[in-house]
């Protein structure tokens, strides 16, 4: 092999056919909000913790949907469960319940 | 679906391409990358189809590479462009045809800038007068040479000696068509089929008997991108773009790739070597790569030109398997002979990419 001094960058493509989506199905049974989220980002915009830490409900839900469970767990680890995101969600998702469900699901694994 | 509505949308995507009388400007990089392509265009348009395509030795670069790498400002580029247009006017032409996609983008961008900012146009006209003492003029039509070949595709098909058909199986060859980003992604109305449905190369391939491959990353950039390859630290990004395209097209088993951009043809050809030698991954049948051809080369092959006169020996991926499929005869011993028959020497062979 030749080293040209430059390399392929890792692909950011997510192949949903190859991703393990068991967590999505399990979580949808605990809280169907994971499927009704439209990723508008209102939750993230209103998040107090998000100002100080890497917290994003929108990104966490997308991460679970894309099979990146560890990332979802990290994104919600600093959530204070204040519930502001629940008040602004245009889809009426009980985000606090969903966040707790995600945390419980992965903590139980 | 409202059929009339679709027809209306499609008509908005069409482009008026004059049939004859062109002022022709060459590309800087094509003459080194694929040196015989531009000559082939003149042989086809002038010699075989009898068109008036005028070339003048005083034209220069369009300044596109320097512009896109932030080396020279837009006003300098516009003055260069104004000089090219002035030379066209001086020789009595009003249809401007350029060989390079980058140049095509530069010309269209300049004309659009002048249309939106007339005061800038006046300033450039003044610059032109001061620096070159030439009369400012604008072309009636600006087309790319692939537009011209597209316009003449049926005439070429009527004179064709070969079709884009596998002579062993009788099936149409599967062709990946790749459009340069600066052809219609910047100004969609200036390209045949716009940015979403560019038909300029697909039209040629279909007219000459081939079959277009529609794959997921069909409209993805080749990765050329000027500063992506000019700076070594960024070349991985360029390489990754090409890699993404090849991974996407691989399952469709294309026989060859046709492009209308100098950078796309070069990088999709050469990066196959780099991917093979650095990753051990090869594409195409038996690890021999997927040949990447310019539209003039394909037109030349269809018209029965000698493959070595078309400069196909300058390609990294060997084209012999494709020539065999097309049933085009070639002499392997003459592959690396110069114009006067002198031996130019065979280049070093790659280890992973088969030849």
Taking CA–CA distances from A13, the nearest residue in chain B reads B244
Angle between the B101-116 and B262-279 helix axes, to the nearest 10 degrees? 130
Q: Are B58 and B87 in contact (CB under 8 A)?
A: yes
- Backbone dihedral angles phi then psi of residue B235, each to the nearest 5 degrees: -65, -25
Chain A segment 4-23 residues within 8 A of B by beta carbon are: 4-9, 11, 13
pLDDT digits (tens, 9 = 90+) for B281-339: 999 999 999 999 999 999 999 999 999 999 999 999 999 999 999 999 999 999 999 88
Instruction: Give residue limits of the domains in chain B.
Output: 22-145, 155-334
The fold for domain B155-334 equals Rossmann fold (3.40.50)
| Distance, CA of A33 to CA of A17 (rounded, Å) | 22
CB-CB under 8 Å, B280 with A1:
yes
| Distance, CA of B39 to CA of B25 (rounded, Å) | 12
How big is the A-B interface in CB pairs under 8 Å?
Answer: 34
Which residues are CB-neighbours of B137 under 8 A, at least 6 positions away? B85, B86, B88, B89
Average pLDDT, stretch B59-68? 93
Query: Which of B234, B204, B210, B237 lies closest to B221, judged by CA?
Result: B237
Its ipTM equals 0.82
Q: Which residues of B touch A6 (CB under 8 A)?
A: 232-236, 239
Helix, coil or strand: residue B191: coil
| Distance, CA of B223 to CA of B267 (rounded, Å) | 8
Query: Which of A70, A92, A94 lies closest to A81, judged by CA?
Result: A94
| Distance, CA of B335 to CA of B323 (rounded, Å) | 13
pLDDT digits (tens, 9 = 90+) for B14-56: 899 999 999 999 999 888 888 899 999 999 999 999 999 999 9
CATH of domain B22-145: 1.20.1050.140
Q: Which residues of B touch A (CB under 8 A)?
A: 232-237, 239-240, 243-244, 274-275, 277-280
Query: Which of B206, B143, B114, B196 lies closest to B15, judged by CA?
Result: B143
CB-CB under 8 Å, A5 with B278:
no
Average pLDDT, stretch B114-125? 97
Whether B3 has a pLDDT exceeding 90, the answer reads: no
pLDDT at res. B10: 80
Same fold, B22-145 and B155-334: no
pLDDT at res. A92: 95
Helix, coil or strand: residue B25: strand
For every residue of B218-280, DSSP letters joined together read TTS--S-TTHHHHSGGGHHHHHHHHHHHHHHHGGG--SEEEES-HHHHHHHHHHHHHHHHHH-
DSSP state of B172: B
Query: Which of A1, A15, A18 lies closest to B281, judged by CA?
Result: A1
pLDDT digits (tens, 9 = 90+) for B191-205: 999 888 899 999 999
Q: What is the mean pLDDT of chain B?
A: 94
How crowded is residue B57: how many other Cβ atoms within 10 Å of its Cβ? 4
Whether B248 has a pLDDT exceeding 90, the answer reads: yes
Q: Half-sphere exposure of B161 toward its Cβ, with a 13 Å CA cutoff?
A: 11
Q: How far is A14 from chain B (nearest CA, A)?
A: 13
pLDDT band at B249 (very low <50, low <70, confident <90, very high): very high
Q: How far is A10 from chain B (nearest CA, A)?
A: 8
Q: Are B327 and B173 in contact (CB under 8 A)?
A: no
For every residue of A31-69, DSSP letters joined together read -THHHH-----HHHHT-SHHHHSS--HHHHHHHHHTT-H
| Distance, CA of A56 to CA of A75 (rounded, Å) | 6
Place of tokens 């009636």: B140
pLDDT at res. A16: 86
Helix, coil or strand: residue B17: coil
**Predicted confidence pLDDT, tens digits, chain A (109 residues):** 899 999 998 888 888 888 888 999 999 999 999 999 999 999 999 999 999 999 999 999 999 999 999 999 999 999 999 999 999 999 999 999 999 999 999 987 6
Q: How far is B218 from chain A (nearest CA, A)?
A: 16
């Amino acid at each position: 092999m030749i080293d040209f001094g430059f390399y392929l960058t890792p692909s950011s493509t997510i192949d949903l056919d190859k991703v393990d989506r068991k967590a999505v199905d399990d979580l949808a049974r605990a809280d169907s909000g994971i499927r009704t989220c439209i990723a508008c980002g209102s939750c993230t915009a209103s998040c107090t913790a998000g100002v100080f830490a890497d917290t994003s409900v929108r990104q966490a839900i997308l991460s679970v949907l894309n099979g990146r469970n560890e990332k979802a767990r990290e994104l919600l680890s600093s959530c204070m469960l204040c519930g502001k995101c629940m008040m602004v969600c245009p889809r009426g998702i009980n985000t606090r319940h969903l966040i707790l469900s995600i945390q419980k699901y992965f903590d139980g694994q | 679906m409202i059929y009339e509505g679709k027809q209306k949308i499609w008509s908005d995507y069409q482009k008026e391409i004059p049939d004859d009388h062109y002022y022709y400007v060459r590309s800087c990089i094509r003459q080194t990358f694929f040196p015989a392509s531009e000559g082939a265009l003149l042989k086809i348009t002038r010699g075989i189809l009898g068109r008036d395509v005028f070339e003048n030795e005083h034209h220069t670069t369009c300044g596109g590479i320097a512009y896109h790498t932030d080396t020279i400002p837009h006003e300098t580029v516009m003055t260069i462009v104004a000089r090219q247009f002035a030379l066209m006017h001086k020789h009595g032409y009003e249809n401007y045809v350029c060989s390079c996609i980058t140049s095509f983008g530069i010309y269209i961008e300049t004309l659009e800038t002048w249309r939106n900012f007339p005061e800038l146009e006046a300033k450039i006209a003044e610059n032109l007068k001061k620096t070159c003492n030439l009369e400012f003029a604008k072309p009636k039509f600006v087309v790319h040479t692939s537009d011209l070949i597209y316009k003449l595709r049926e005439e070429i098909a009527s004179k064709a000696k070969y079709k884009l058909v596998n002579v062993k199986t009788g099936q149409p060859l599967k062709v990946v068509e790749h459009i340069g980003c600066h052809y219609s992604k910047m100004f969609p109305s200036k390209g045949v089929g716009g940015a979403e449905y560019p038909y300029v190369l697909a039209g040629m391939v279909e007219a000459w008997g081939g079959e277009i491959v529609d794959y997921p990353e069909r409209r993805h950039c080749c990765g050329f991108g000027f500063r992506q390859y000019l700076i070594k630290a960024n070349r991985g990004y360029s390489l990754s773009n090409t890699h993404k395209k090849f991974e996407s097209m691989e399952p469709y088993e294309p026989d060859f790739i046709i492009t209308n951009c100098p950078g796309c043809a070069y990088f999709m050809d050469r990066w196959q070597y780099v991917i093979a030698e650095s990753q051990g991954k090869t594409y195409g049948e038996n690890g021999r790569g997927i040949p990447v051809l310019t539209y003039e080369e394909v037109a030349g092959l269809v018209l029965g030109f000698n493959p070595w006169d078309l400069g196909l020996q300058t390609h990294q991926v060997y084209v012999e398997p494709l020539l065999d499929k097309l049933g085009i005869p070639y002499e392997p011993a003459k592959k690396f002979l110069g114009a006067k028959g002198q031996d130019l020497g065979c280049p070093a062979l790659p280890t992973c990419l088969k030849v």
